[in-house]
């Protein structure tokens, strides 16, 4: 391949630079973000000196040497067997049911969220909710219901995910004062809205040729969604599902701080009893649950790819 002379290369680079796509307002947006970040430090509430002061160092050393260690193991040399006995006592005791509760809450919540998303996705898909799907563009779908259905469905998804899971659970505690249902329903409502919106966008961006061919053969919306859009988007939808599953496991811990039995409830109790060692143990156990969910997600998606479904 012949190399261009240096002056021609520079001219070509300048030409490409002039022709590159430009995002209007990008510079002003970046400057605004920087100014907002700097305003936090200018307010005096945030000071780097607080992070590096001698008092912070002393507190950190005391935490690592004393508070983070179980009372029965403080001041002793490190013994693997002693630590293993302590861990076995913590993770096999009656309080360890919080880990099982967190897992159950996350699994049930994401299953309900997935079911809700399957029901909402078709209604929120603008290419499917037209007078004659995939044979006319959504903007020419006509007036009335065909324009209103996807808009209302998408607005409903926005409302579901606009309220944080913690707030949903706080509201639902007035209806279900006991048990884990507030956490399950809160996670299902919030994540159902997210999955439905992501799924609808995925279906809209699918290759329109297979569903158009089915429509020309007389297939209805349900057949198009199941036979053309579903198989085409299955891998992406599965990715979203497992991502929200990991989120449900994490948020089940946070919602437990409202008093619902889960790892979050155990963390609050350990903090109230000034048992930092137990608090760290429950936090690490929650991390292990999320790592296990990520491993399951990886294995399932790899199996799906092998079957050629993504």
Output the 3-class SS for the chain.
CCCCCHHHHHHHHHHHHHHCCCCCCHHHHHHHHHHHHHHHHHCCCCCHHHHHCHHHHHHHHHHHHHHCCCHHHCCCCCCHHHHHHHHHHHHCCHHHHHHHHHHHHHHHHHHHHHHHHHHHHHHHCCCCCCCCCCCCCHHHCCCCHHHHHHHHHHHHHHHHHHCCHHHHHHHHCCCCCCCCHHHHHHHHHHHHHHHHHHHHHHHHCCCCHHHHHHHHCCCCHHHHHHHHHHHHHHHHHHHHHHHHHHHHHHHHHHHHHHCCCCHHHHHHHHHHCCCHHHHHHHHHHHHHHHHHHHHHHHHHHHHHHHCCCC
Can you tell me the mean pLDDT for 247-255?
A: 88
Give the mean pLDDT of the chain. 81
pLDDT in tens, 30-51: 888 888 877 766 666 666 666 6
pLDDT in tens, 265-303: 888 888 888 888 788 888 888 888 888 888 888 888 888
Q: For residues 165 and 50, what is the distance between their CA atoms, to the nearest angstrom?
A: 32
Q: Which fold has domain 99-306?
A: MetI-like fold (1.10.3720)
Q: For residues 63 and 277, what is the distance between their CA atoms, to the nearest angstrom?
A: 10
Q: According to the model, what pLDDT value does residue 115 have?
A: 95
Residue 280, class by beta-carbon neighbours within 10 Å (0-12 exposed, 13-18 middle, 19+ buried)? Answer: middle
> Residue 93 pLDDT more than 80?
no
Measure Cα distances from 13 to 1, 5, 8, 82 in Å.
18, 12, 9, 66
Can you tell me the mean pLDDT for 187-213?
A: 92
Q: According to the model, what pLDDT value does residue 35 have?
A: 85
14 — pLDDT class (breaks 50, 70, 90): confident
87 — pLDDT class (breaks 50, 70, 90): confident
Can you tell me the mean pLDDT for 239-261?
A: 87
Angle at 251 between CA 201 and CA 270, to 5 degrees: 170
> Residue 143 pLDDT more than 60?
no
Q: For residues 129 and 131, what is the distance between their CA atoms, to the nearest angstrom?
A: 7
């Amino acid at each position: 391949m012949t190399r261009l002379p240096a002056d021609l290369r520079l001219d070509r680079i300048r030409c490409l630079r002039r022709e590159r796509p430009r995002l209007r307002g990008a510079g002003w947006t970046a400057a605004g973000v920087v100014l907002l970040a700097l305003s936090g430090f200018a307010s005096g509430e945030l000071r780097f000196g607080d992070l590096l002061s001698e008092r912070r160092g002393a507190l950190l050393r005391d935490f690592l040497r004393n508070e983070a260690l179980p009372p029965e193991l403080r001041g002793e040399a490190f013994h693997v067997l002693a630590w293993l006995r302590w861990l076995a006592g913590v993770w096999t005791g009656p309080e360890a049911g919080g880990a099982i509760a967190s897992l159950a809450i996350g699994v049930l919540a994401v299953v309900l969220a997935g079911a809700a998303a399957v029901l909402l996705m078709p209604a929120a898909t603008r290419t499917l909710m037209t007078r004659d799907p995939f044979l006319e563009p959504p903007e020419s779908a006509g007036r009335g219901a065909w324009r209103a259905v996807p808009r209302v469905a998408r607005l409903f998804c926005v409302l579901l995910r606009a309220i944080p899971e913690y707030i949903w659970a706080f509201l639902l505690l007035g209806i279900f004062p006991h048990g884990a249902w507030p956490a399950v329903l809160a996670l299902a409502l919030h994540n159902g809205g997210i999955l439905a919106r992501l799924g609808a966008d995925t279906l809209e961006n699918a290759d329109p040729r297979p569903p158009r061919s089915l429509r020309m053969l007389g297939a209805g919306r349900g057949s198009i969604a199941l036979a053309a859009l579903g198989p085409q988007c299955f891998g992406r939808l599965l990715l979203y599902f497992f991502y929200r599953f990991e989120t449900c496991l994490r948020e089940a811990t946070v919602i437990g701080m409202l008093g619902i039995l889960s790892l979050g409830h155990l963390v609050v109790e350990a903090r109230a009893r000034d048992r930092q060692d137990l608090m760290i143990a429950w936090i690490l156990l929650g991390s292990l649950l999320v790592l296990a969910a990520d491993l399951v997600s990886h294995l399932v998606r790899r199996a799906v790819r092998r079957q050629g479904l993504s």
